[in-house]
Amino acid sequence: MSTQSLPEVDAVVVGSGPNGLAAAVTLARAGLSVQVLESQPTIGGGARTLDLGLATGIVHDICSAAHPLALASPFFEAFDVQARGVRAIAPTASYAQPLDDQPAAIAWHDLERTVDGLGADGPAWRATVGTLARHQDLVVEIALGDKRSIPSALLTPRTLLAAPVFGALIGLQGTAAWNLPFRTERARALLGGVAAHAIGTLPSLALSATAGLLSAIGHGVGWPIPVGGSQSIIDVLVEDLQAHGGQILTGHHVRTWRDVPPARAVLLDTPAGAAADILANRLPASLERALRRFPHGDAAAKVDFVLSGPVPWRDPEVGEAGTQHLGGTRAQMAHAEAQVAAGRVPEHPMALVSDPSIADPSRIQGGLRPLWAYAHMPAGDTTDPTELVTRQIERFAPGFRDLIVASQGIPASQMSLHNPALVGGDISMGRVTMTGMIARPTARLDPYRLAETGWYLCSQATPPGPGVHGMSGWHAARRALAHEFGIRELPDLSPSPAQRGSAVLGD
């Protein structure tokens, strides 16, 4: 469809991932006419759930399966996905770290059960991660802020305890002192596995911040799995957008600014480099160069399995977790991530695995169940990850291979085929470093506004960075409302009485 046939609107959002939809919903709630343009035939970006044709009735989460930030994020808290009918169930254990020659380390949703299981390191876990969990809202506000303003939670007396603990954990776990304050491999590996959710070398300040945030949430709201799949979150965003007059057009590729209809504001849920391409020669030269220079990070390669039964973990308690981190000891994980950073495919890559049927038995159809997995690989690598991931799971779950009914591997180089934002398999839309998380994609005071153009960047290439949280879209929409429309008060996002419990869940 040509732009000539598209109606003029107040705002256009390019891309329908969680951040793009968060921006669109916010703008529509403010009374603006909004149109979302999506290049793919389906809505949702990295939070889609699709039938891949691997087995009848089995659907797979395309990028993310467990969603610790979908309930903890201030945007989703204000939007209240649960009141809209999304059932997000936190498994008994948030995550698990199986090891080769000793019992697995388990992060139970229950903090004290985790403390008991970690033995000698239980008190240290309670004093660090436990403290952050008790102040989860503070940790979330610090981590998911725009990195340009002081979080309001920091202005309360209770931050005198929690904020220093968060800072100390980042400082210790992100440097050569990262074995402190833990004495056992089980506790060290348990926290290291969470850090590896952000792809990068270990130790790293940015990865340790990720570990602090996600481990705190693991004992707070937990790491919930949406019933029906990630798509259920997208469905309620779409429902609200359309209820407030917003429109969505799929199959519409935006390659240049000419592919966008006239609008007072345009928000791009795209990588920084794609924004530079779309606005080529229409931005200040220094800004265009900065967007193009923002480096991509290393990659994830995806494997979707269909299994005839639950994964036969050597340690049965591992199967109670919604997410498994398969990297072994902290030293083994650091070695694998160093190989990735050097452009080599590890023999034993860091792999993340989730069986959504642990929390959502409806995902089991005809005795078959989906298994979600990805492995860290060098950017743009062409290796089919299926065998590497299979071996890594078999390492901790002997007999796993015998349960595989079907599988589909997607090399890092092909991840962008189903989501153009994942350039070279970079699921973070930019390298994850501490500097890069603040100056993301540039060090400007307003990292969302693309000069005096009326265009904004609202993707996870901006603060606070990667994750299904909607915060980048919310931060960008707030600025667009103020600069382009003179609206300085964010609209109420809570569901109307008619919307409560009306969500259409995923299949």
Q: Is the pLDDT of residue 437 over 70?
A: yes
Residue 248 near residue 31 (C-beta atoms within 8 A): no
Task: Give which of 428, 463, 447 is closest to 297, Cα–Cα.
Answer: 428
> What is the rounded distance in angstroms from the CA atom of residue 253 to the CA atom of residue 145?
31
pLDDT tops 90 at residue 368: yes
pLDDT, tens digit, 9 for 90 and up, residues 20-79: 999 999 999 999 999 999 999 999 998 999 999 999 999 999 988 999 998 899 999 999
**Quick one: pLDDT band at residue 7, thresholds 50, 70, 90?**
low
CB 61 within 8 A of CB 356: yes
Phi, psi of 452 (to 5 degrees): -90, 50
Quick one: pLDDT at residue 152?
A: 74
The tens digit of pLDDT for each residue in 411-423 reads: 999 999 989 999 9
Structure tokens at 453: 């153009």
DSSP H or E run through 115: helix 111-117
Confidence of residue 298 (pLDDT cuts 50, 70, 90): very high
- Cα dist. 386→24, 59, 351 in Å? 37, 18, 11
Query: Exposed, middle or buried by CB within 10 Å (0-12, 13-18, 19+), for 507?
Result: middle
37 burial via Cβ count (<10 Å: 0-12, 13-18, 19+)? buried
- Could you read off the pLDDT of 11-34 as tens digits, one per residue? 999 999 999 999 999 999 999 999
Neighbours of 343 (CB within 10 A): 12
Is the pLDDT assigned to residue 451 strictly greater than 50?
Answer: yes
Where does the pLDDT of residue 507 fall: very low under 50, low under 70, confident under 90, or very high at 90 and above? very low
User: Residue range 373-389: average pLDDT?
Assistant: 98
Q: What is the pLDDT of residues 215-253, one digit of tens each?
A: 999 999 999 999 999 999 999 999 999 999 999 999 999
Residue 435 has pLDDT above 70, yes or no: yes
Q: Which residue has the higher pLDDT, 5 or 143?
A: 143
pLDDT band at 506 (very low <50, low <70, confident <90, very high): very low
Between CA 400 and CA 1 the distance in angstroms is: 47
Buried b (16+ CB within 10 A) or exposed e, 403-425: beeebebbbbbbbbebbbbbbbb
User: Peptide bond preceding 68: is omega within 30 degrees of 0, i.e. cis?
Assistant: no
Helix (H) or strand (E) holding 322: strand 321-326
SS (H, E, C) 272-284: HHHHHHHCCCCCC
Distinct helix (H) and strand (E) counts, the chain = 17, 16
Question: In whole angstroms, what is the distance from residue 380 CA to residue 403 CA?
Answer: 30
Average per-residue pLDDT for the chain: 93
Q: Is pLDDT at 502 greater than 70 in this prediction? A: no
Q: How far apart, in whole angstroms, are the C-alpha atoms of residue 148 and residue 133? A: 24
Quick check: pTM over 0.75? yes
Q: What is the pLDDT of residue 504?
A: 38
Asked if residue 359 has pLDDT above 90, the reply is yes
Q: Which residues lie across from 248 on neighbouring strands?
A: 36
Give the model's pLDDT for residue 1: 52
Say which amino acid occupies 100: D
Choice among 131-145, 157-171, 277-291, 450-464 with the minimum mean pLDDT: 157-171
Give residue 159's pLDDT: 66
- pLDDT in the model for residue 71: 85
Bridge partners of residue 335, in order along the sequence:
none
Residue 499 confidence (pLDDT): 79
